[in-house]
Amino acid sequence: MSPNLRNRLAVAGAGIPLCALLTYAGGYVFAAGLGAVAAIGYREFAGMTRGAGTRAFVVPGSIAAFLFPPVVLAAGFEGAALLATGLVLGFAALALATIDLEERPIRSAAVTTFGALYVGGLLAFGIPLREGWVLLPQGGGAEGGWIPGTLLFFLPVTLTWIADTAAYAGGRTFGKRPLAPRVSPNKTIAGAVSALLGSVAVAVLYPRFLLPDAWTLGLPRTLAFGLVVGVLAIVGDLAESALKRECGVKDSSRLLPGHGGMLDRLDSVLWALPAAFLFLAFAA
């Protein structure tokens, strides 16, 4: 076994059970866990952009990213919208007060606000999935049972994991034509097609065996769910590849041996969570 594979398995062996326990706990424990992941992801984002010549506020932005999941849990999306508005105003004022005009304070404020929203705001869509705001009539907490909410949250997460694996296998086996050569030369059309096939398979099989009493979507909408979430997961992967290429880095950090940084693990999930919630909110 290669050292890289050994490191990847060790990180997965520690990370997956921890993620499962935090999700099962739900409530503010889960929200704090998501917030901590968001704060780490934002720090990586800020580090990359600062390396590319844009000054981002590290600590304030990390705090802002952390706050999104707990705020969504406490005050819903209305609270998140108010938080986002406060960030636009607050970071603009902070930049104007602390950064010389020659150092482009408005760009710093914009990058900081975007980073906090991108990581913290998108991860916060895991809250309504875990808490059963969609699909689970009684909710996913104490009244509706912890397990259904946990399983519903892990549906888009599992979908992205399987899609990534299928993309890797399909790309290595059949990949010839690049999907987006200027953004990520190693990603192929065959890999993307394999990822979508894996996404659809998970969308069909996962609810059938793990959410049989809660899943109310018929086969056509289930297939559409798999395709929509799968496509947006691919876009999320490409978006982070574009960010890294723009910033001139290979990985977002070296936090996770064998995996790169937190953002390298979250790239598809950041898009899959809101895609899954919005689809279920409007189509279920």
The total domain count for the chain is 2
Residue-wise pLDDT for 149-199, tens only, equals: 999 999 999 999 999 999 989 988 887 798 888 888 888 999 999 999 999
Are 75 and 200 in the same domain? no
Are 164 and 265 in the same domain? yes
Are 172 and 227 in the same domain? yes
CB 10 within 8 A of CB 124: no
Q: Alpha-carbon distance 62 to 100, whole Å?
A: 22
DSSP 8-class letter at 66? H
Residue 4 has pLDDT above 60, yes or no: no
Select from 100, 130, 160 the last residue of a domain: 130
Task: Give the residue numbers spanning the domain of 203.
Answer: 1-24+145-284
Are 270 and 179 in the same domain? yes
Residue 75 has pLDDT above 90, yes or no: yes
pLDDT of residue 143: 45
Exposure letters 75-108 (e unless 16+ CB within 10 A, then b): eebebbeebbeebeebbbebbeeebeeeebbebb
pLDDT of residue 258: 62
pLDDT of residue 142: 44
Q: Which helix (H) or strand (E) holds 180?
A: strand 178-180
Q: Alpha-carbon distance 151 to 211, whole Å?
A: 7
For 253, phi then psi, to 5°, come to -170, -175
Residue-wise pLDDT for 96-123, tens only, equals: 999 999 889 999 999 999 999 999 999 9
Does a structural domain hold residue 276?
yes
pLDDT of residue 137: 59
pLDDT of residue 144: 43
CB 46 within 8 A of CB 57: yes
Residue 140 has pLDDT above 50, yes or no: no
Are 161 and 243 in the same domain? yes
Percent with pLDDT over 90 in the chain: 70
Does a structural domain hold residue 135?
no
Residues in the chain: 284
pLDDT of residue 182: 86
Average pLDDT over residues 12-39: 91
Return the sign of the alpha-carbon dihedral for residues 177, 227, 120, 101. Answer: positive
Are 154 and 165 in the same domain? yes
Spatial CA neighbour of 280 closest among 158, 152, 139, 127? 152
Q: Which helix (H) or strand (E) holds 188?
A: strand 184-188
pLDDT of residue 55: 87
- Which residues partner with 166 through β-bridges? none
Q: Alpha-carbon distance 18 to 23, whole Å?
A: 9
Q: Alpha-carbon distance 218 to 83, whole Å?
A: 37
Task: Tell me if the pTM is above 0.85.
Answer: yes
Residue-wise pLDDT for 260-273, tens only, equals: 889 999 999 999 99
Q: Alpha-carbon distance 230 to 248, whole Å?
A: 27
Residue 145 has pLDDT above 70, yes or no: no
Residue 259 has pLDDT above 70, yes or no: no
Q: Alpha-carbon distance 189 to 162, whole Å?
A: 17
Amino acid at 41: G
